[in-house]
Homo-oligomer: A and B are copies of this chain.
Amino acid sequence: MADNFCNVYLALIHFPVYNKNEEIISTSVTNLDIHDIARLARTYGIRQYFIVHPAPKQQQLVQSVLDFWRLGYGASYNPDRSQALQLITIADSLLDVTERIEAAEGMRPIIVSTGAKSSSSSVSYPALRHQIANSRRPFLLLFGTGWGLPASIMAESTFIVEPIYGVSEFNHLAVRSAAAIILDRLLGSNWWDGSLSC
């Protein structure tokens, strides 16, 4: 199967996000969000995976993980992992992310928020998949850590994608799991009819 990329970026937001009481907080970066989502991003042809945190200490923590796997012992021990982590860029804020994409692409990305709550303006997966495959503009998928993306970020989004339901009303997935399912639905080789996404 040839490499076949959609023009999609992904950002994992650590600030601003909600805590369980819907107050604005920042969360800590976690090693497995770095690794799991980078490997997903590589699998689904994401252009760049932005890890967004305004705190220099947290950014340094991400950088030290990247240095180990991209330059240090990890790069020779596990080259696949290294290849996936090449996609990561550390960013200060959502504005920083959109400015970097605009600098690279010459146009602003279409922002897509994800979350566990239903909204009257939610877009379905097939509809968004079609938009992504047929747009000239880049897309930016946003995932929130903690208890999810706040209203201020939702308000900057062109699309809010439907929550994920399995077979029950329980939809408390880890952000890593939600990212896996959403990338597969939007960008995966169209496994039920054999077509490709882009």
Contact = CB atoms under 8 A, between A and B. Distances in A.
Interface of A: 1, 3-6, 20, 32, 35-36, 39-40, 42-45, 78, 80-81, 83-84, 124-126, 162, 164-174, 176-181, 183-185, 187-189, 191-192, 196-198
A74 to B, nearest CB: 13
Contacts of A165: 1, 43, 188-189
Contacts of A169: 1, 3
Given A32-B32, A36-B174, A177-B180, A43 B3 contact: no
19 contacts: A3-B168, A4-B167, A36-B174, A36-B176, A36-B177, A39-B177, A40-B173, A42-B172, A43-B164, A43-B170, A43-B171, A43-B173, A84-B170, A124-B191, A125-B191, A167-B197, A180-B180, A181-B181, A184-B185
Given A32-B32, A177-B39, A177-B180, A188 B172 contact: no
Contacts of A179: 177
B192 A166 contact: no
A39 B167 contact: no
A183 B170 CA distance: 14
Contact of A174 (B1, B39, B162, B191): B39
A78 B174 CA distance: 13
